[in-house]
Amino acid sequence: MISFNNVSMRYADGFEALKSVSFQLADGEMAFLTGHSGAGKSTLLKLITISERPASGEILFKGLNLARVLGKNIYRVRRDIGVVYQNHRLLPEKNVFENVALPLRIIGTDYRELAKRVRAAISKVGLSGSEKKFPNSLSSGEQQRVGIARAVVSKPSLLLADEPTGNLDPELSQEILKLFEQFNQVGVSSLIATHDLNLLDKNNKRKLTLSHGVLIDKSERIEGRDAVL
Partner 1 sequence: MINQKGSKVGTQFFSGLRFFFLSHVREIKGALSEIIGKPLSTLVTISLIGISIGLPSIFVILGENFLAGLDRIDQSVKINVFLDKSVLVAEGLSLSKEIQDQPDVSLVRFISAEEAIKDFQKQTNLSEILFTLGQNPLPHVVEVVPVSFDPIDVAILVSSLNDLNGVESASTNLGWLERLYGVFSIVRSIGIVFAIIFFVGLILVVAHTIGVAIQNKAEEIELLLLLGATSSFIRRPFFYLGFWYGLGGGLVANIITQISFFPLAAGVERLAQSYQSSFSFDRGGSDTFFLILLIGIFLGATGAFLALSKKMGEINPKRHGYSYK
Site of interaction with partner 1 (CB under 8 A): 49-52, 70, 72, 74-79, 83, 89, 91, 102-103, 106-108, 111
Q: In degrees rounded to 5, what are phi and psi of residue 188?
A: -80, 120
CB of 126 to partner 1, least distance (A): 23
The nearer residue to partner 1, 162 or 226, going by C-beta atoms, is 162
Cα distance between residue 110 and residue 49, in whole Å: 26
CB of 177 to partner 1, least distance (A): 23
The nearer residue to partner 1, 145 or 207, going by C-beta atoms, is 145
CB of 200 to partner 1, least distance (A): 26
- State the angle between helix axes of 170-185 and 140-152 in degrees (0 to 180), rounded to the nearest 10: 10
The nearer residue to partner 1, 143 or 209, going by C-beta atoms, is 143
The nearer residue to partner 1, 15 or 111, going by C-beta atoms, is 111
* Contact (Cβ atoms closer than 8 angstroms) between residue 125 and residue 48: no
Residues in Cβ contact with 5 at an 8 Å cutoff, skipping those fewer than 6 apart? 22, 57, 58, 59, 60
Q: In degrees rounded to 5, what are phi and psi of residue 168?
A: -115, 155
CB of 46 to partner 1, least distance (A): 8
